Amino acid sequence: MTRSEGCPTCRFAAELKVCPYGGSVNGATEHGWETVGRAEVYAGRVRLVDHSVVLGDGTRSNYEVDESIPFAVATLVVDDEHVVLTRQYRYPLDRWIYDLPGGAGDENETPEAAASRELEEELGLIPNELTPLHTFYMNPGRAAWPTHLFLCDAGTATGTIDTSDPAEQVNQARVRLTELDAAIASGEIVDPSLIVARACAAARGLLPPLTVSNRGDC
């Protein structure tokens, strides 16, 4: 079986009569790259791998890829008219932001198991049920790993927060859905997973359409 056979992302491209792994659009032929070698160049919390590649025109080149984790997960928790978010300090931005409970999955974990684990570790919540929401790539130009998004709207039980990592300062933030929409529209929300999860939940009819309203008390 070729890489493109049975490819779920090809459904979106079907009307263009092209597979995202290669084909033609408007008469222009699209070629993928061939990987001919790999070498790890850095390994810490971030793992970078240098790929030796042959481009579509036959040119040889090198391309560094972020292969830090197998995949990431994040969960949008909905409780009636509210969403339960995380509030965390993000050092690269030097600011506290709203985002979703989540993190890296392990090789031996399913995305759902990883999402459940991360939700308990960060907020002390055990989901009664998780609904797969969407899978996207946070940085498709550089990172190889997908982010799996889930929706939790069937309630939670109380679990145990993991406080073993002093670099992870996580607070719980409970806000109205309309407040979240207003914060997205104003630019206050900068976390991609949160924005994508909200939009996908609305597109699939799992949450109301995005709205913008005057911000009030939560």
- 204 by DSSP, 3-state: which? coil
Beta carbons within 8 Å of 177's beta carbon, 6+ residues apart:
78, 81, 82, 83, 207, 208
- 201 by DSSP, 3-state: which? helix
Torsion sign, CA atoms 102, 146, 113, 49: negative
Confidence of residue 209 (pLDDT cuts 50, 70, 90): very high
For residue 177, the surrounding DSSP H or E stretch is helix 177-186
Q: What's the pLDDT score for residue 135?
A: 98
- Per-residue pLDDT tens digits for 12-25: 555 555 565 566 66
Beta carbons within 8 Å of 201's beta carbon, 6+ residues apart:
76, 78, 133, 151, 207
Architecture of the domain whose range is 72-203: Alpha-Beta Complex (3.90)
Confidence of residue 124 (pLDDT cuts 50, 70, 90): very high
Whole-Å CA distances, 193 to 47, 99, 123, 133? 21, 7, 17, 11
Q: What's the pLDDT score for residue 28?
A: 76
Q: What's the pLDDT score for residue 82?
A: 97
Beta carbons within 8 Å of 26's beta carbon, 6+ residues apart:
none
- Per-residue pLDDT tens digits for 161-185: 999 999 988 999 999 999 999 999 9
Q: Find residue 157's DSSP bridge partners.
A: 126
Q: What is the mean pLDDT of the chain?
A: 90
Q: What's the pLDDT score for residue 213?
A: 58
Share of the chain above pLDDT 70, in %: 84
Q: What's the pLDDT score for residue 5?
A: 46
Q: What's the pLDDT score for residue 218?
A: 45
Residue 130 DSSP code: -
- Per-residue pLDDT tens digits for 30-50: 889 999 999 999 999 999 999
CA-wise closest residue to 5 among 29, 22, 30: 22
Q: Is pLDDT above 60 for 216?
A: no
DSSP string covering 62-126, please? EEEEE-S-S-EEEEEEEETTEEEEEEEEETTTTEEEEE-SEEEPPTT--HHHHHHHHHHHHHSEE
- Per-residue pLDDT tens digits for 74-87: 999 999 999 999 99
Matching residue, tokens 């690269």: 92
- Per-residue pLDDT tens digits for 78-118: 999 999 999 999 999 999 999 999 999 999 999 999 999 99
Half-sphere exposure of 142 (CA within 13 A, CB side): 8
